[in-house]
């Protein structure tokens, strides 16, 4: 294999003109070549003109044009004439275009026709034979399953890269996502948490009064909030509020083709769009559960003391008795899982939305439904696992 | 054809959500050629471009670049091949939060060993080639549609690709600016020798630019004509193609 010679520059004098001899392979991947030799020659010699000899240039790209543009600017500053006839024709043409720098304008024009909508209605294609439709349906279903698995695998890979700090240089606004998932969700979680605790206390009191066991209200409310209701309520809040927001954001980027742009400029869409949101929700989920649990316990306390009439010290003591790490850990694990499930659902349906305005709405609907169902099913699965491992 | 085939499309089938859009596409694009993909609305022109640009995996068939398949190799091979491509999307999509310079420079920063300053210098040169000197610090929302298209062209050529894919570059432009963009595309091809695949419904641009053209039929779901646009207009046996290229006057 031939190894390309590195680019070289030498300057000599012929009468009152300087000759810049260029050779080797000029490649952008090897970096830009400084113009020191030329500048030094212009400093040392009183030249009236500068010409180029590029006969020994093996190959060239923009790095040569950048070099020539720099030399040209230097010559213009020193009022030295430049003769570009010895340059490759293509490089000369690009240099001329760059020097012209003409400013063109343009105006707003009508939107292009919505081809996809017509395609979906089938107005531009005839019907396929039914056997072919079944075949393509089968292929599509198989590819769809593969696509979901690929999405999940790529997200896991990307999250690992992000946690190890190995994502590429274009940083996603991770803190913004964390704030969106955490701080901005606090009010709704506070309201729902307090209300859930209060309602639980009211319902259980009604049943326990018949058995004469109203002091157990504190215990039942606390366990229910810590193990189940607090985390489930956070899961639903995240799925509704953040699932829709994430899906809409990503789907809008897909519709505007910004995701395509990310791909072609070399940014992994999973690194930039999906992984930061998954990690943000994975962090925010457990924190929101702690917050919701606290408010839920307060709601139960409020009803237990003010409505049921239990003594406050007794209610607090019975609550403290069930505040074990097992119950708290169960809620935290669920909060983390619900955050991840929501981000995955929203990310997947956002990316799959298609490039139409209607695609954004469909993505949001699918993401919210998928996230809510995913949260409930995940809750059931985790509860079964906890029962199995006695957590 | 005098030049060797840079791109070969072999028995390509394109489908969307289980429905075939185009099938059995078989053609090649010669090195250094401007190749136009034309056809009626919904015939899958942009989809074909996305498949040729390696952005979508074919349902069946293959696209070869100098005999090498994008999807047949490893991910590293795909990355290497994709570095040879420059793509202009329909509507000239730029990232709204970045200036024109950043939109071009980010591609250089992420894909070369250039320092940020060097990447900015190369990006400024690319913008100057597109006639955008002095607009480097403007955001896409601050410039006209025509300037956004030229900035997107600058980004497409940032890495000196030898294969360029342009999806309707003049779709949003008036005739005068459309002609200026045509001049830039011709200038690029002449200066760099790049192979250009162009999807367009702008007939003056097709006639001005294309050395070769392919007509996709949305009803028959396959290509029905191939040749120089002028030859297709004057001598194509298919009346639909002639009607398309003469705006229904043939």
Q: What are the chain B neighbours of A271 within 8 Å (beta carbons)? A: none
Interface of B with A in 55-74 (CB under 8 A): 55, 59
pLDDT in tens, A296-312: 999 999 998 998 888 89
As a whole number of Å, the end-to-end CA separation of chain A is: 64
Share of chain B above pLDDT 70, in %: 98
Q: Could you give the 3-state DSSP secondary structure of residue B10?
A: strand
pLDDT in tens, B59-75: 899 999 999 998 888 88
Share of chain A above pLDDT 70, in %: 90
Return the sign of the alpha-carbon dihedral for residues A281, A286, A292, A295: negative
pLDDT (0 to 100) of residue A120:
39
pTM of this prediction? 0.68
Question: Mean of the per-residue pLDDT values for chain B?
Answer: 90
Lowest mean pLDDT among B151-155, B157-161, B245-249: B245-249
Pick one of 3.30.365.10, 3.40.50.2000, 3.40.50.2300, 3.40.50.300 as the CATH number of B1-84+163-169+195-250. Answer: 3.40.50.300
Are A32 and B110 inside 8 Å of each other by CB? Answer: no
pLDDT in tens, A118-147: 333 333 344 567 787 788 888 878 877 888
The answer to whether residues A197 and A221 touch, using CB atoms and an 8 Å cutoff, is yes
Nearest CA in chain A to B152: A261
Interface of A with B in 360-389 (CB under 8 A): none
Query: Counting one residue from A and one from B, how many pairs have CB atoms under 8 Å apart?
Result: 173
Q: What are the chain B neighbours of A267 within 8 Å (beta carbons)? A: 106, 110
Are A104 and B147 inside 8 Å of each other by CB? Answer: yes
Q: What are the chain B neighbours of A137 within 8 Å (beta carbons)? A: 18
Are B114 and A260 inside 8 Å of each other by CB? Answer: no
Interface of B with A in 166-185 (CB under 8 A): 168, 171-174, 177, 180, 184
- Residue B38, pLDDT above cutoff 60: yes
pLDDT (0 to 100) of residue A68:
93
Give chain A's domains with CATH numbers. 8-99 (3.30.750.24), 174-389 (no CATH)
pLDDT in tens, B92-148: 888 877 899 999 999 999 888 899 999 999 999 999 999 899 999 998 888 888 899
Q: Pick the closest to residue A347 from A184, A177, A187 (CA basis).
A: A177
Are A106 and B144 inside 8 Å of each other by CB? Answer: yes
Question: Does the CB of A256 have a partner CB in chain B at under 8 Å?
Answer: yes
Interface of A with B in 72-111 (CB under 8 A): 89-91, 93-94, 97-109
Interface of A with B in 170-229 (CB under 8 A): 170
Q: How far is A48 from chain B (nearest CA, A)?
A: 26
- Residue A25, pLDDT above cutoff 60: yes
CA dihedral in degrees (A106, A110, A115, A120; nearest 10)?
Answer: 140
What is the arithmetic mean of pLDDT over B147-157? Answer: 93
Residue B104 backbone class (left: φ over 0; alpha: ψ -120 to 50; beta: rest) = alpha
Question: Mean of the per-residue pLDDT values for chain A?
Answer: 85
Question: Does the CB of A314 have a partner CB in chain B at under 8 Å?
Answer: no
Are A62 and B125 inside 8 Å of each other by CB? Answer: yes
pLDDT (0 to 100) of residue A3:
67
Helix axes A36-44, A62-77, angle to 10 degrees: 20
Contacts of B105 (CB under 8 A, 6+ apart): B116, B119, B120, B122, B123, B158
pLDDT (0 to 100) of residue A171:
65
pLDDT (0 to 100) of residue A128:
60
Q: What are the chain B neighbours of A32 within 8 Å (beta carbons)? A: 114, 118, 121-122
Are A265 and B106 inside 8 Å of each other by CB? Answer: yes
- Is the ipTM value over 0.85, yes or no? no
Q: What are the chain B neighbours of A115 within 8 Å (beta carbons)? A: 41-42
What is the arithmetic mean of pLDDT over A67-92? Answer: 90
């Amino acid at each position: 294999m031939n190894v390309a010679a590195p680019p070289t520059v030498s300057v000599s004098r012929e009468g009152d003109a300087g000759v810049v001899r260029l050779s080797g392979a000029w490649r952008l991947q090897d970096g830009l070549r400084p113009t020191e030799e030329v500048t030094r020659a212009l400093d040392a010699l009183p030249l009236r003109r500068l010409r180029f000899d590029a006969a020994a240039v093996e190959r060239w790209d923009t790095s040569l044009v950048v070099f020539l543009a720099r030399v040209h600017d230097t010559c213009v500053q020193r009022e030295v004439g430049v003769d570009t006839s010895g340059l490759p024709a293509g490089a000369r043409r690009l240099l001329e275009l760059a020097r012209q720098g003409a400013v063109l304008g343009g105006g707003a024009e009508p939107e292009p026709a919505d081809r996809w909508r017509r395609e979906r209605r089938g107005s531009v294609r005839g019907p396929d034979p039914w056997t072919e439709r079944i075949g393509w349906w089968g292929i599509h279903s198989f590819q769809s399953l593969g696509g979901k698995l690929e999405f999940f695998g790529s997200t896991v890979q990307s999250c690992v890269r992000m946690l190890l700090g190995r994502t590429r240089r274009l940083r996603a606004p991770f803190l913004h996502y964390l704030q969106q998932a955490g701080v901005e969700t606090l009010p709704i979680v506070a309201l729902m948490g307090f209300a859930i605790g209060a309602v639980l206390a009211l319902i259980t009191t009604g049943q326990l009064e018949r058995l004469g066991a109203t002091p157990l209200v504190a215990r039942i409310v606390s366990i229910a909030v810590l193990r189940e209701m607090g985390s489930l309520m956070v899961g639903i809040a995240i799925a509704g509020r953040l699932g829709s927001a994430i899906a809409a954001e990503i789907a809008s980027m897909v519709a505007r083709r910004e995701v395509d742009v990310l791909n072609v400029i070399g940014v992994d869409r999973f690194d930039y769009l999906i992984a930061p949101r998954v990690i943000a929700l994975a962090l925010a989920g457990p924190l929101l559960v702690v917050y919701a649990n606290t408010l839920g316990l307060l709601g139960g306390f409020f009803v237990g003391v003010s409505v049921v009439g239990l003594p406050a010290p007794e209610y607090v003591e019975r609550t403290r008795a069930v505040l074990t790490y097992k119950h708290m850990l169960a809620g935290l694990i669920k909060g983390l899982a619900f955050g991840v499930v929501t981000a995955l659902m929203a990310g997947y349906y956002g990316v799959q939305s298609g490039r139409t305005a209607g695609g954004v709405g469909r993505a949001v609907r699918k993401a919210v439904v998928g996230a809510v169902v995913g949260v409930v099913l995940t809750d059931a699965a985790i509860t079964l696992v906890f029962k199995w491992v006695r957590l | 054809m005098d030049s060797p085939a840079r791109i070969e499309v072999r028995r390509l089938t394109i489908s969307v959500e289980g429905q075939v859009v185009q099938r059995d596409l078989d053609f090649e694009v010669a090195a250094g050629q401007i190749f136009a993909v034309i056809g009626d609305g919904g015939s899958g022109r942009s989809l074909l471009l996305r498949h040729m640009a390696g952005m979508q995996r074919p349902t069946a068939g293959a696209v070869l670049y100098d005999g090498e398949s994008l999807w047949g190799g490893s991910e590293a091979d795909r990355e290497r091949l994709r570095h040879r491509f420059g793509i202009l999307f329909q509507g000239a999509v730029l990232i709204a939060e970045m200036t024109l310079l950043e939109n071009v420079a980010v591609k250089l920063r992420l894909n070369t060993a250039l320092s940020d300053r060097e990447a900015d210098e190369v990006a400024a040169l690319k913008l100057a080639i597109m006639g955008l000197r002095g607009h480097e610090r403007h955001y896409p929302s601050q410039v006209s549609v025509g300037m956004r298209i030229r900035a997107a062209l600058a980004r497409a050529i940032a890495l000196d690709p030898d294969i360029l894919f342009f999806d309707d570059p003049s779709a949003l432009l008036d005739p005068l600016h459309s002609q200026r963009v045509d001049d830039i595309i011709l200038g690029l091809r002449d200066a760099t020798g790049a192979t250009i695949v162009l999807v367009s419904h702008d007939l003056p641009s097709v006639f001005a630019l294309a050395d070769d053209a392919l007509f996709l039929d949305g009803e028959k779901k396959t290509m029905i004509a191939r040749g120089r646009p002028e030859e297709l207009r004057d001598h194509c046996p298919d009346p639909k193609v002639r009607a398309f290229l003469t705006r229904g006057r043939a």
